[in-house]
């Protein structure tokens, strides 16, 4: 074989390998960026639903502390709507914790009301959102990386 052909073939092979390396690197970079963007969007979506549920729960719980019955069902309906969204994206443990929060809120409406003039006994059970918040953080943890 002619040495000139060998040089030409070697140069073409080197160019082809360089082009493939460039294409591969570009593809991997785009794939990584797409994955990071997808994870960020998923994190934002889940975080928004969790925050919406916690906000609605807080308002409904505060309403339940001062009212003797559910006078405005729209506060509870918003909670049920957000619960439906939660079921789409959250883990089973988070949904169970949210269900417990909803149950506590409904019970609060029909419990004896707090006397806001006297200082109530505060115990660890008064934070009905604690378990839910911890579960939400656990659900969001894989998307932070």
Average pLDDT over residues 69-89: 88
Domain count, the chain: 1
Query: Residue 40: which residues within 8 A CB-CB, separation 6 or more?
Result: 143
Question: Residue 73 pLDDT more than 90?
Answer: no
- Predicted confidence (pLDDT) per residue in 40-57, tens digit: 999 999 999 999 999 999
Burial (0-12, 13-18, 19+ Cβ within 10 Å), 63: middle
Of 92, 97, 86, 80, nearest to 134 (Cα)?
97
Q: Classify residue 124 by its DSSP letter.
A: G
Q: Which of 17-21, 26-30, 66-70 has the lowest mean pLDDT?
A: 66-70
Of 42, 35, 54, nearest to 141 (Cα)?
42
Q: Which of 67-71, 116-120, 125-129, 132-136 has the highest mean pLDDT?
A: 132-136
Whether the model clears a pTM of 0.85, i.e. scores above it, the answer is no
Domain enclosing residue 45, as ranges:
3-144
Helix (H, G, I), strand (E, B) or coil at 5: helix
What's the pLDDT score for residue 9?
Answer: 86
Contact 70/109 with Cβ under 8 angstroms? yes
Contact 70/54 with Cβ under 8 angstroms? no
């Amino acid at each position: 074989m002619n040495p000139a052909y060998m040089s030409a073939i070697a140069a073409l092979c080197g160019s082809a390998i360089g082009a493939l390396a460039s294409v591969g690197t570009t593809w991997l970079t785009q794939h990584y960026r797409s994955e990071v963007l997808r994870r960020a969007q998923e994190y934002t979506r889940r975080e928004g639903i969790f925050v919406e549920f916690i906000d609605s729960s807080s308002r409904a719980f505060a309403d339940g502390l001062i009212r003797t019955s559910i006078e405005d069902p729209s506060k509870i309906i918003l909670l049920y709507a957000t619960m439906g969204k939660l079921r789409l994206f959250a883990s089973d443990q988070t949904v169970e914790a949210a269900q417990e929060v909803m149950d506590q809120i409904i019970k609060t409406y029909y419990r004896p009301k707090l006397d806001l003039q006297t200082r109530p006994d505060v115990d660890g059970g008064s934070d009905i959102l604690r378990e839910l918040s911890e579960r939400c953080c656990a659900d969001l943890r894989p998307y932070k990386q």
